[in-house]
Amino acid sequence: MAGCQCFAGLSKLSSPEKDLNRNSSSYVTTRPRDIPAEEYGVRTVPLFVPPLEEARDALRAALAEDYRESSVDIVDCPDLREWRLAQAGLGGKGTLVDVGGEPFNHDKLYNSKVKFDMKKVCASFGRDKAAILGAGACCSAEINGHLGELTVTANLSDGANNSVSARVLEDKSCCAEDYKSLFHGGLMNLHVTDGSDGKVLRVRAKARVGEQRSLSQTLRRGLQVFPDAVGLGGAFKVLKGKVKAHVNPDQCCCPEGYYDEIEMKCTKPFLQFYEGATAMGPDLVCISSMWTKDPVGGALHLRASGEHTHFFSLSGKSESGHYHGDDPTAEPTEEIEYEGYFVCANEMARVRDAVSERWMDWGEKPTVAVLGAGAMGCLFGGLLIEGGLDVTFIDKWQEHVSKINTEGLRLVGVGGDRTLKAKATTDVTKLGTFDIIIVQCKATDTRAAVESAKHLFRKDSVAISFQNGLGNEDVIAEVLGGADRVFGGQTLQGANIEGPGVSRIHTNLVSYIGEWNGGCSQRCGRIARVFSAAGLPTEEDPNMKKKLWMKAIYNCVVSPLSTLTNLTHRDVYCRKDAIPVADAIIKEALQVAAAEGIDISEKEGRECLDKVIASNQANKSSMCNDILAKRKSEIDYINGRILTLARKHGISVPVNQAMAFCVRGVESHYTGE
């Protein structure tokens, strides 16, 4: 986990430069929590799917480097049931799934509790009738308390299950047995498809000449010619030769302290290997999935090897386990030969990330201040209070603050009508420090608000901005003395104030946070998981500048259109004439983003708007509410900011210019400007 960032104390956030500290109490103290046995939170991310011909050529090149004889061809998939798989083919939408992780398999806090139902895993991303292939850990309760390797082949549509478990016997030999349960243990990698017919990549390889023993890793290396994340899944057979394998022994047979709970990895030898005289094969069927990199820059905390391959024997031998590659020391020596069938996957699904959950369980819950208790500030702070976090609201509106303190914060709409005991103040000078300060004031007030609240920050505190518009994070970084103290935030949550102490919530969409300097960090991953566990769905993103631009482009559409029509979002976009206007605004903003060095596709430029249209939000934009209340709007930070940057680059943006002019014109009736 080198280079990761972390919490340095029980409730303190470390600076990005701070290394892991084994003497820190946050790593030796675990916050008491009832660890749930089952949980199926999921994050799904698209993968790049190269044309079959390009994937074929990339795999051919890699195989030619490592094998004396090899070929890759595009063919119709044969009936894989002849290989004892529970599905005929690999057709349909393909999803690679990374479930759990090493902490759930080895950390004593989790490994006797956590388990997963594969049908529920697949249901979490809408595929509960799919065909599944996989490599992972057995559920110990299903094999009489033992640990072991699990090779999965099951069909959720017809109930077929030909999965095989492997465990270590007292004499160190391998015991392979049928495994009819759909439960697995702390980690698993699945390849989920419809199991139907279709075109596949047939791979043949014979006589390794390169240094890479693993066929899976050779294939993975071939796909790395593509700049974006690519996934591949399927099965291959060991036709000749033997392979090196391992099986996880029972915990009582593992050396004391073999697993480092801080580094979250095994540091002492503990696996039972099968090589040389005990190498396995041939006539093995290997189930394999692989990916070239994390599609979200490390935020998914995927299996470090980038692939996972298990196997079982077709010849009835007690041979099954984790595949490492061919074993040249096996006797009698026989050249390895493989044949396999693969398809590229469409997406990666991360289910119950064990790494971020372990981070969450280090230390105490962070304390939170919300600087600006408007509709969205109340939404964020209220949900976090419901989830058990200590939150303090800061706002200038005395009646609102008094109502919260005396009667509680009332949330209505999505989630139901409830009143929460909450703390609020208008006097920021009387407050101490906090771990997290959510800056949720209007963009027009950012500098003054953060200046007034500088004393709330310790050296290891972090500011998170979910504000509208462009430039807020840079202002916060300037006031606090560095971007390493700032997270960017993007949210499509919607809310409005219905009166003092009352916020109506309109959506429950995922929010994103990330280091303003870019990249992934342990502290950000932990905060995202803490927020999500508290009821505020949050995911880490390594490129928040891009995410903020995507949100700003969306704001350029929804803010002025809702304002100038005085309509809710759903009432604007049910009108067909609104879409061409939105498209024109987006097209102009994308040109400006490109000139600023922000690479956003047309699809990404529409992403936020499409999500809001799909959510059917019945609220008006915050800009519209500002105008109705005769307050200064954020137009200068939204369409006005696009106009300013466009002029810098000599780009014409007439529709955005018109939006800014019209909103400012409406404002002039009460501002006099």
Same domain, 599 and 575: yes
Residue 594 domain-assigned (yes or no): yes
Same domain, 349 and 428: no
**What does the alpha-carbon distance between residue 350 and residue 189 come to, in Å, rounded to a whole number?**
10
Same domain, 522 and 593: no
According to the model, what pLDDT value does residue 609 have? 87
Q: Regarding predicted confidence, which is higher, 302 or 618? A: 302
- Above 80 in pLDDT, residue 11? no
Same domain, 91 and 154: yes
Q: How far is CA 98 from CA 40, 102, 336, 626, in A?
A: 12, 11, 29, 44
Residue 27 domain-assigned (yes or no): no
- Final residue before a domain boundary, out of 307, 329, 356: 356
> Based on the structure, what is the number of domains in the chain?
3
According to the model, what pLDDT value does residue 576 have? 83
Gyration radius of the chain's alpha carbons: 28
**What is the signed CA dihedral for 279, 284, 287, 289, rounded to 10 degrees?**
60
From the number of C-beta atoms within 10 Å of its C-beta (0-12, 13-18, 19+), residue 415 rates as middle
The 10s digit of each residue's pLDDT in 134-183 is 999 999 999 999 999 999 999 999 999 999 999 999 999 999 999 999 99
Same domain, 457 and 566: no
The 10s digit of each residue's pLDDT in 261-294 is 989 999 999 999 999 999 999 999 999 999 999 9
pTM for the predicted model, two decimal places: 0.91
CATH of the domain at 435: 3.40.50.720
Same domain, 341 and 481: no
Tokens of 298: 């490390």
CB contact set of 546 (below 8 Å; sequence gap of 6+): 598, 599, 600, 604
Same domain, 428 and 286: no
Tokens of 473: 């994070």
Same domain, 352 and 378: no
E strands in 101-196: 116-117, 131-138, 149-155, 164-168, 174-178, 183-193
Question: Once rounded to an integer, what is the mean pLDDT over residues 47-51?
Answer: 98
Residue 44 domain-assigned (yes or no): no
Coil, strand or helix at 235: strand
- Above 60 in pLDDT, residue 4? no
The size of the chain, in residues, is 673
According to the model, what pLDDT value does residue 6 have? 33
Helix 375-386 with 522-534: angle, nearest 10 deg: 80
- In order, the DSSP letters of 603-623 are HHHHHHHHHHHHHT-----HH
- Above 90 in pLDDT, residue 333? no
Same domain, 316 and 403: no
pLDDT band at 3; cut points 50, 70, 90: very low
- Above 80 in pLDDT, residue 22? no
Residue 596 domain-assigned (yes or no): yes
Same domain, 411 and 272: no
CATH of the domain at 599: 1.10.1040.10
Q: How far is CA 456 from CA 13, 301, 466, 525, 641, in A?
A: 13, 32, 18, 22, 30
The 10s digit of each residue's pLDDT in 305-315 is 999 999 999 99
The 10s digit of each residue's pLDDT in 396-405 is 999 999 999 9
According to the model, what pLDDT value does residue 24 have? 40
Degrees, nearest 5: CA angle 160-162-168: 150
Residue 24 domain-assigned (yes or no): no
Residue 255 domain-assigned (yes or no): yes
Question: What proportion of the chain, given as a percentage, has pLDDT over 90?
Answer: 87
The 10s digit of each residue's pLDDT in 380-432 is 999 999 999 999 999 999 999 999 999 999 999 999 999 999 999 999 999 99
Q: What's the sign of the alpha-carbon dihedral 378, 379, 381, 383?
A: positive
Residue 388 domain-assigned (yes or no): yes
- Above 50 in pLDDT, residue 465? yes
Residue 20 domain-assigned (yes or no): no
- Final residue before a domain boundary, out of 524, 542, 560: 542
Same domain, 387 and 243: no
Domain housing 633: 549-673
- Final residue before a domain boundary, out of 298, 325, 356: 356
Same domain, 112 and 143: yes
Q: How far is CA 666 from CA 351, 563, 572, 658, in A?
A: 48, 9, 19, 12
**What is the overall mean pLDDT for the chain?**
93
The 10s digit of each residue's pLDDT in 96-130 is 999 999 999 999 889 889 999 999 999 999 999 99
The 10s digit of each residue's pLDDT in 189-248 is 999 999 999 999 999 999 999 999 999 999 999 999 999 999 999 999 999 999 999 999
- Above 90 in pLDDT, residue 12? no
According to the model, what pLDDT value does residue 25 have? 38
**What letter would DSSP give residue 471?**
S
